[in-house]
């Protein structure tokens, strides 16, 4: 099956859609579980499927360092390697241009990193980023882009936009897999005019989907909110729109209302590993002594395996005892919460009632 996007319904700017991929359909808006190193931390593929996870995200930079993209290709591709039967999206390594900036040299030809594992050099050109992702066999691959920090000056953002468009041209020229969709990434910081120039350059290349990168990289929350809806409106209506790395529940609701279809973030699993739960009633911190004798579930009314089978008191005990089951059970609940939130948003759009959606702020830090 080739890649195809259906826009099924709109409610204001909010969109209900369907992405067809070689490994199944993605109902949008959708949240993608982050599986950077070919695993969603602490969870098995069967557990992810049981809570309705549709897509897993892997990372080009990390997987080419370890175990190596050629080895993964030799073993049948990333789906077979990690035993995940549903769609996979792989990031290009562009985010590491931001997160590993201290160990980076960049010019128009390539980004050159010092490995965080052993200090060895990794040269990442647009062509190599594409080749790695083709070896991995993801359903959706991303162009290599330059992601400057949110507080970078205007000249740095303008240079990143120019380089991102240039690299996107090279990525498209290098891309060969007909069973893999290659998305372009719009940069430009919080400058909507600059993002418009980037979007114009990428749309001319006619990618099957587009992402908004460069949010949640140091700018204020208000700057993100002010720039998000105008930036989303720059993208084609008939193609999926992906907001990279933004993941607080209230921010997802705002972004869906701005016209975004796909999301990813480490928040649900990272907070799960740190004893923090997302619930429709607000955040729950399982290390707090108030849960020591609480026989109720993490979230009343939640039908995830954690809430069906285990009490807050038990989870409190697991975290105090440093038992690894605690992070597993709470990560499972948090991803189930996110998946349920996305299903509720899809239903609200279908019913023309998106404007009635209201959730409590997550209140949990990206820790």
Hey, which residues are catalytic here? 91, 264
Q: Count of alpha carbons within 13 Å of 85, Cβ hemisphere only?
A: 6
Burial class, 83, CB count within 10 angstroms (exposed 0-12 / middle 13-18 / buried 19+) = exposed
Q: Is 324 helix (H, G, I), strand (E, B) or coil?
A: coil
Produce one character per residue of 161-192: b if its CB has 16 or more CB atoms within 10 Å, e if not. bbbbbebbbbbbebbeeeebbbbbbbbbbbbb
Q: Which stretches within the chain are classed as H helix? A: 45-50, 60-65, 69-74, 78-82, 94-99, 126-136, 154-174, 192-203, 221-232, 249-257, 267-273, 305-309, 312-320, 325-350
Instruction: Classify residue 246 as left (phi > 0), alpha (psi -120 to 50) or beta.
Output: beta
């Amino acid at each position: 099956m080739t890649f195809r996007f259906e826009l099924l319904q709109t409610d204001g700017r909010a969109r209900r859609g369907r992405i067809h991929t070689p490994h199944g359909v993605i109902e949008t808006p959708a949240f993608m579980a982050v599986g950077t190193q070919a695993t969603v931390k602490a969870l098995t593929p069967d557990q992810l499927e049981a809570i309705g996870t549709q897509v897993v995200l892997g990372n080009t930079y990390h997987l080419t360092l370890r175990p190596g993209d050629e080895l993964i290709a030799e073993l049948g591709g990333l789906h077979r390697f990690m035993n995940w039967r549903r769609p996979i999206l792989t990031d290009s390594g562009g985010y590491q241009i931001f997160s590993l900036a201290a160990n980076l040299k960049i010019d128009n030809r390539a980004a050159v990193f010092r490995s965080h594992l052993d200090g060895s050099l990794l040269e990442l050109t647009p062509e190599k980023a594409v080749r790695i992702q083709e070896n991995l066999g993801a359903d959706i691959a991303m162009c290599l882009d330059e992601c400057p920090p949110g507080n970078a000056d205007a000249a740095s953002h303008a240079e990143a936009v120019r380089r991102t468009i240039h690299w996107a041209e090279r990525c498209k020229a290098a891309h060969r897999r007909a069973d893999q969709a290659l998305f372009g990434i719009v940069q430009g910081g919080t400058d909507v005019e600059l993002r418009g120039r980037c979007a114009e350059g990428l749309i001319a290349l006619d990618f099957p989907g587009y992402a908004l990168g460069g949010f949640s990289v140091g700018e204020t929350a208000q700057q993100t909110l002010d720039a998000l809806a105008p930036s989303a409106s720059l993208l084609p209506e008939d193609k999926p729109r992906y907001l990279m790395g933004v993941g607080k529940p209230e921010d997802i609701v705002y972004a869906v209302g701005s016209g975004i279809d796909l999301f990813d973030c480490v928040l649900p699993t990272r907070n799960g590993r740190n004893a923090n739960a997302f619930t429709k009633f607000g955040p729950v911190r399982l290390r707090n002594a108030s849960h020591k004798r609480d026989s109720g579930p993490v979230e009343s009314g939640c039908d995830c395996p954690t809430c069906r089978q285990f009490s807050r008191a038990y989870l409190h005990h697991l975290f105090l005892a440093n038992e690894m089951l605690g992070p597993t059970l709470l990560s499972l609940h948090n991803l189930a919460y996110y998946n349920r939130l996305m299903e509720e948003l899809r239903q609200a759009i279908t019913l023309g009632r998106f404007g009635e959606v209201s959730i409590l702020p997550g209140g949990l830090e990206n820790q």
